[in-house]
Structure 1
Amino acid sequence: MTSIRIAIIGAGMAGLKAASTLHNAGMNVCVFEKSRGLGGRLASRRTEFGHFNHGAQYVTARHPGFAAYLEQATAFNAAQSWKPNLHHGGTEIAQSHGNLALDQWYQGAPQMNKLIRPLVEPFSVLKQHRITRIEQLDRRSFALHDDLEGVFGPFDGVIVTAPAPQTAELLRPMSPRFDPIGDVVMAPCWAVMAAFEQPLPTAFDAIIHQSPAISWAARSSQSSDLFHRRCPDPWVLHATPRWSRDHLEEDKDRIIEKMLAALRDISGVKLPELHSVDAHRWRFARTETPLGASHLNGMNGRVIAAGDWCLGARVEAAWRSGQSAAHAMIETLFG
C-alpha cells in the first residue's frame, strides 16, 4: 500500500489528522504547508520571556473521538486543562473570578501549537511551500505546483485543508462540485500580543466581552497565584469579527493603539507600562457560515476539501473533518 501517494495541503489540525490517519493506513503521505511551522491557527509566538497563544486560545470536546484525542494528547504532555479566572463582561470587572464554562477547556502544553504533537508521524512535511495549482495528469493522478515554480507528484489523491477562500481558489477551477465552498463565510481577526512590565492589576485571567472592539482577552500563561504573577505579563487580545473587518487594512500601530485603549476601558484599570507589543492579522480566523458537511469531494473522489469551515468554528470541527476526509479517500481507493 505504500506505493499509494497522497498529498495534503495544510498542516493545521484538519490536515495533520488526515495525514496521520492515511499514514497509519499504510499510505505514503506528503504534507505541504505554506508557513514555517505546524498547527495553523493553533498558533504560538515565542519570546525571550515566554509565549503568546495568538490564535485559538483553548479547545473543548463534544465528540467522543476528539475527547479521546485530548486524553491522548494529555498523556503525551501535549495538552493540559485550563480553568482561568474568567470574566463575562459587565460591571465590577476587577472583582470577577471563576470559570463558569460548562465544557472543560484544554490548552496545548506548554503552548497551543503542541496540541498537534500526537498527529506528527514520520511522514514528509514540506514547510514554506505555498501550493498555487493542482494539475490533473489523468483520471487517477495529480501534480502540485507551488509559488516558486516547483512541481510535485504524481499523487493518487489530494486533500486540501486550507481556509475556505484559499481552498476555493485551488479547487473551483477543477470541478463545479467544489462550488459550494463559495458559500462559506469566514471572518477575520486582529490579534494583539502585549507584554506588560507589571502584572495587569485584575483578579481575572480572561475576558469574554462583546465590546465593539474586543471579543476576547487573556493572559497567555497559566498561574493560580494572583499575587505572584510572572513579569513581563503576556496578554493576547482578539478583536471582534466586525471590528476586524472594518479595520482589516489599517496600520498595525493604529490597531495596537485602539485595542489597548479598548482593553483599558473594559478592564477598568490603568494599564502598566509595555515591555513589548505586536499585532497579527488573521484574514480567515473564524467560520461564520459553515459548509454544513464534514468534507467535499470531486474528481472521482480523489480530490477532497476539508477543514474546520466544513462543520463550524471549533478545533474539534477541524479534527473531525480531517478524519472524515481521510476515511473518504480510503473508501475511494479501496472501497
Structure 2
Amino acid sequence: MPRMSNVNIAIIGAGMAGLKAASTLHRIGMNVTVFEKSRGLGGRLASRRTDFGHFNHGAQYVTARDPGFNAFLQEATEFNAAQNWSPNLHRGTSAPAQSGAALSPIARHVGNLAEEPWYQGAPQMNKLIRPLVDTFPIQKQHRIVGIEPSGPRSFILHDDLDGTYGPFDGVIVTAPAPQTADLLRPLAPRYAPIDEVVMAPCWAVMAAFESPLPTGFDAMLYPSPEISWAARSSQNDDMFHRRTPDPWVLHASPEWSRQHLEEDKDRVIEKLLAALRDVSGVKLPELHSVQAHRWRYARTELPLGKSHLNGMNGRVIAAGDWCLGARVEAAWRSGRTAAHAMVEALIG
C-alpha cells in the first residue's frame, strides 16, 4: 500500500462534490490539488456580490435526508457557515410532484411548513462549503480540457491555455455531466453512460427594487409556467423593516429556459419580470438594478443512478449531484463515495 503522503490526487471542480472529495482525501493524508474554472468556489452554490449585498442566484436552499449530510449541516451551522431558513412561502399550482423539499398540504398556499428544515449558507449560499476548504491548493480559473494517461497508473492534466499539471495518481472529475463526459469519453468506453444523464438549464434574474415588493410572502415555488422559483434574497422576515433596495431572485422553469436558452439577456429579464408581476398580483416597484445569468447545466432531470462512475483501474472517477439527483445533498454524497472509491483503488 502506498504511503498516503506520497499520493497525489487531482480534483476537477470546486463545488460541493469536488470539495467534499478533496476534504475527505486531504484529511487522510493525501496530497490534493483542486482545479476550478471559475473565480470563486461552490459551483451552483453561487452568490453575486453587489454594492448593497449579495444575490443567491444558484441553489436557493438545501435539505438533509442522509444522516451524514445532516451532520455536515450541523457542523456548518456551528461554523457560522449555515443557517435555518423559513420564508413565508407561496406554492403555486404549476409545481410538479417532485419540485424540491417535501411540503405539507397547507404549505401549498402560504407559510413554509416543509416536512424537513431548510438551510442556507451564511451569510450567503457560497459560504456553505467553508467547512470543506482546507490547506490543499485550489487552482482557480483553470479550465481542464484533457486528461492524458502517463503510464498505467498516473495522469497528466491539460488546461485551455496549454498548461500541464501532474503527474497525478488519480483524478476525480466533478464537472456537470456533459462537461465530464467530454473529458472522460476519450479515455474509455466505461464512461459512456454519462451521456444518458439529462441536465436542464435555468435562466436566473437578479432584480433589486427601489422599494419593497408589496407581497405577503417572501418566496414562490412554481407560481407559473415561466417561473419555477422567486424569492427575496434576504434573511429579514420583518415585512415592515425590509431593507432597500429589495433584492429578488427569479429562476425560470426548465421548460421555459430551454425554449429561451439562446435569447438575449435583456429580453429574458423583460419576460420574467412581466411573469413576476402577473403572478404576484402587484405593481412592481422601480428597478434599482437588474442582471441575468444563464445556468446551462442547472438541475439534474435524469441522473446516472449510482453515486459515481470509475474507470482506468479505478483511478479516474466521475462524480457530482448528477449521479444521484437534483439536490446539494446528492453532490455531497457523491463526493464522499468517490473519495472512498479512490482510496480503495489505490490500496488495491
TM bucket normalised to smaller: over 0.9
> Residue 284 of structure 2 aligns to which amino acid in structure 1?
L
Aligned residue number for residue 153 of structure 1: 166
Q: Is the 8 A contact 2:223 2:279 kept in 1?
A: no
Q: Secondary structure at the match of 1:138?
A: coil
Provide the C-alpha distance between the structure 1 equivalents of 2:323 and 2:292, rounded to a whole number of angstroms: 28
Deviations 1:237-257 (A, max 9, x none): 000001000000000000000
Q: Is the 8 A contact 1:58 1:106 kept in 2?
A: yes
Deviations 1:261-298 (A, max 9, x none): 00000000000000000000000000000000000000
Give runs of aligned pairs for residues 54-69 of structure 1, distance below 5 A: 54-69=57-72
> Residue 345 of structure 2 aligns to which amino acid in structure 1?
T
Deviation at 1:102, TM superposition (A): 1.0
Provide the C-alpha distance between the structure 2 equivalents of 1:301 and 1:210, rounded to a whole number of angstroms: 45
Aligned residue number for residue 82 of structure 1: 85
> Residue 66 of structure 1 aligns to which amino acid in structure 2?
F
Q: Secondary structure at the match of 2:204?
A: strand
Q: Secondary structure at the match of 2:6?
A: coil
Provide the C-alpha distance between the structure 2 equivalents of 1:199 and 1:279, rounded to a whole number of angstroms: 20
Provide the C-alpha distance between the structure 2 equivalents of 1:56 and 1:103, rounded to a whole number of angstroms: 17
Pick aligned residue for 2:18 from 12, 15, 18: 15
Q: Is the 8 A contact 2:21 2:338 kept in 1?
A: yes
Q: Is the 8 A contact 2:308 2:338 kept in 1?
A: yes
Q: Secondary structure at the match of 1:159?
A: strand
Provide the C-alpha distance between the structure 1 equivalents of 2:84 and 2:200, rounded to a whole number of angstroms: 27
Deviation at 1:101, TM superposition (A): 1.3
Aligned residue number for residue 202 of structure 2: 189
> Residue 26 of structure 1 aligns to which amino acid in structure 2?
G
Q: Secondary structure at the match of 2:5?
A: coil
Provide the C-alpha distance between the structure 1 equivalents of 2:256 and 2:87, rounded to a whole number of angstroms: 25
Q: Is the 8 A contact 1:210 1:240 kept in 2?
A: no
Provide the C-alpha distance between the structure 1 equivalents of 2:92 and 2:185, rounded to a whole number of angstroms: 42
Mapped pair 1:36 → 2:49:
no
> Residue 258 of structure 1 aligns to which amino acid in structure 2?
K
> Residue 122 of structure 1 aligns to which amino acid in structure 2?
T
Q: Secondary structure at the match of 1:66?
A: helix
Q: Secondary structure at the match of 2:273?
A: helix
Pick aligned residue for 2:256 from 232, 238, 243: 243
Deviations 1:103-145 (A, max 9, x none): 1000000000000000001001000000000000111000000
> Residue 42 of structure 1 aligns to which amino acid in structure 2?
L
Mapped pair 1:299 → 2:302:
no
Pick aligned residue for 2:336 from 316, 323, 329: 323
Provide the C-alpha distance between the structure 2 equivalents of 1:224 and 1:156, rounded to a whole number of angstroms: 50
Q: Is the 8 A contact 1:86 1:205 kept in 2?
A: yes
Q: Is the 8 A contact 2:208 2:287 kept in 1?
A: yes
Deviation at 1:100, TM superposition (A): 2.0
Mapped pair 1:124 → 2:127:
no
Mapped pair 1:262 → 2:275:
yes
Q: Is the 8 A contact 2:198 2:300 kept in 1?
A: yes
Deviation at 1:209, TM superposition (A): 2.0
Provide the C-alpha distance between the structure 1 equivalents of 2:222 and 2:64, rounded to a whole number of angstroms: 23
Provide the C-alpha distance between the structure 2 equivalents of 1:183 and 1:238, rounded to a whole number of angstroms: 25
> Residue 23 of structure 2 aligns to which amino acid in structure 1?
S
Provide the C-alpha distance between the structure 2 equivalents of 1:213 and 1:89, rounded to a whole number of angstroms: 12
| TM-score w.r.t. length of structure 1 | 0.98
Aligned residues: 331
Aligned residue number for residue 102 of structure 2: none
What percentage of aligned pairs have identical amino acids? Answer: 78
Deviations 1:171-212 (A, max 9, x none): 011001100000000000000000000000001000002522
Deviation at 1:11, TM superposition (A): 0.1
Provide the C-alpha distance between the structure 1 equivalents of 2:134 and 2:222, rounded to a whole number of angstroms: 39
Q: Is the 8 A contact 2:201 2:296 kept in 1?
A: yes
Give runs of aligned pairs for residues 76-115 of structure 1, distance below 5 A: 76-89=79-92, 97-115=110-128
Moved more, 222-231 or 39-48: 222-231
Pick aligned residue for 1:216 from 204, 229, 242: 229
Q: Secondary structure at the match of 1:169?
A: helix
Provide the C-alpha distance between the structure 2 equivalents of 1:89 and 1:198, rounded to a whole number of angstroms: 24
> Residue 280 of structure 2 aligns to which amino acid in structure 1?
S
| TM-score w.r.t. length of structure 2 | 0.94
CA RMSD of aligned residues (A): 1.0
Q: Is the 8 A contact 2:91 2:110 kept in 1?
A: no
Provide the C-alpha distance between the structure 1 equivalents of 2:69 and 2:63, rounded to a whole number of angstroms: 9
Q: Secondary structure at the match of 1:23?
A: helix
> Residue 76 of structure 2 aligns to which amino acid in structure 1?
A
> Residue 38 of structure 2 aligns to which amino acid in structure 1?
S
